[in-house]
Amino acid sequence: TIDNVVWVQGQGKSVCAHLREVLGKDVKVTNYAADGFNTHHMLHGAWPSISWSARIAEKDPFPLTQCDTFCPLEQAKKLRGVTHIVLSVGGNDIREILGNMRVKLTPP
């Protein structure tokens, strides 16, 4: 996934780093993916705690609001000259739902 910067540290390049290398300097790759974000976070923003440090190390920090919140959809609205957008939402919602189901089904 595009938010894989945490999971490849020290092992290779992130998806965005590969895209930037392959596409060259004429193409701008903007990464607003945040590891762990669910649909609520996408719509209302949140602190990108899982990948914050890794994104700083990759020199690809999250743009934050004055309240230290990352709002991917609000940031995407500010982009100009965009020809392609990749949006993937819902994976963490499913993970959370399955986790809650497991807790409810596990005997005490």
Enumerate the β-bridge partners of residue 46.
70
For the chain, the domains span 15-105
If one compares 4 and 40, the residue with the highest pLDDT of the two is: 40
What pLDDT, on a 0 to 100 scale, did the predictor assign at position 69? 94
If one compares 41 and 8, the residue with the highest pLDDT of the two is: 41
In the predicted structure, residue 1 carries a pLDDT above the cut 90: no
pTM of the entire predicted model: 0.78
Tokens linked to 1 = 């996934």
Rounded to whole angstroms, the Cα distance separating 37 from 60 reads 17
What pLDDT, on a 0 to 100 scale, did the predictor assign at position 24? 94
Would you place residue 75 in the very low, low, confident or very high pLDDT band (cuts 50, 70, 90)? very high
DSSP classification of residue 61: P
